[in-house]
Amino acid sequence: MGNRKHPFRTGNFYHIFNRGVEKRLIFMDASHYQEFLERLAFYQQERQPIKFSKSGFYFEERHEPFRFEIIAYALMPNHFHLLIQALSDEGVPKSLAQFLNSYTKYFNTRHQRVGPLFQGVYQSVYIESDEQLIQVFRYILLNPYTAKLEDRFGDYPWTSYREIGSPNTTLTNPEIILQFFNNDFQTITPFLTDYASYARELNEIKHLTID
């Protein structure tokens, strides 16, 4: 699935993203964001004995084996970003398709609409190096700040930033990124914030150029 030159291969990292059809909102309140994350966690699992809608599932209950690890995410009002590591060749596209179809059905049922919610098939970019991995990680977590959805980095609730140093069960696997920062969560925040203002300036210039 997805427009990509590289198929999913076990162990490789990928940036997955998509936006709402006609740039429409895909999240309209907190419950939408939460539903999206719970369905993502459900379809991350290798085995789903019943449909999500009948499972009473929430992500603290998910269990291995997983088809992919979630490294980072950012959910924006009209689009989303995921950084994942494939743990299965064929299972990843299947899970992503099931997950996005499930969320679309939920959204359409709730809002009494029909038709596609997302702009075509999700996009998938193969991460070719460790440097690209941490740069995409930073890009994803800075997305709400560069889009001016938060005044201070880290305040926006729908990214995985707060999960990095959390001792509690989380949706993401922070160990994969922490290894690049000597397993020290405190060094990740400067890595992100030192680039935040510049990223916002670049985003503003991009929009001025497009306009």
Q: What is the pLDDT of residues 103-138, one digit of tens each?
A: 999 999 999 999 999 998 999 999 999 999 999 999
Identify the pLDDT of residue 1: 39
pLDDT surpassing 60 at residue 5 = no
Give, in order, the Cα–Cα distances in Å from 28 to each of 98, 101, 148: 21, 18, 17
Residue range 13-210 forms a domain whose CATH class is alpha beta
Give 45-84 pLDDT, tens digit per residue.
988 766 776 566 666 678 889 999 999 999 999 999 999 9
Identify the pLDDT of residue 167: 74
pLDDT surpassing 60 at residue 208 = no
pTM, entire model: 0.89
CA angle, 201 then 122 then 15, to 5°: 55
Banded model confidence at residue 210, pLDDT cuts 50, 70, 90: very low
Identify the pLDDT of residue 209: 43
- The answer for residues whose C-beta is within 8 angstroms of residue 141's C-beta and 6 or more apart is 72, 74, 159, 160, 161, 192
Nearest of 118, 114, 147, 151 to residue 36 by alpha carbon = 118
pLDDT surpassing 90 at residue 16 = yes
Identify the pLDDT of residue 211: 43
Identify the pLDDT of residue 185: 84
Domain spans of the chain?
A: 13-210
Give 125-182 pLDDT, tens digit per residue.
999 999 999 999 999 999 999 988 988 888 999 999 989 878 776 899 988 899 999 8
* Dihedral (Cα; 108, 109, 113, 116), 10-degree rounding: 30
Kindly state the tokens that stand for 130. 């460790």
- Rounded to whole angstroms, the Cα distance separating 23 from 77 reads 10
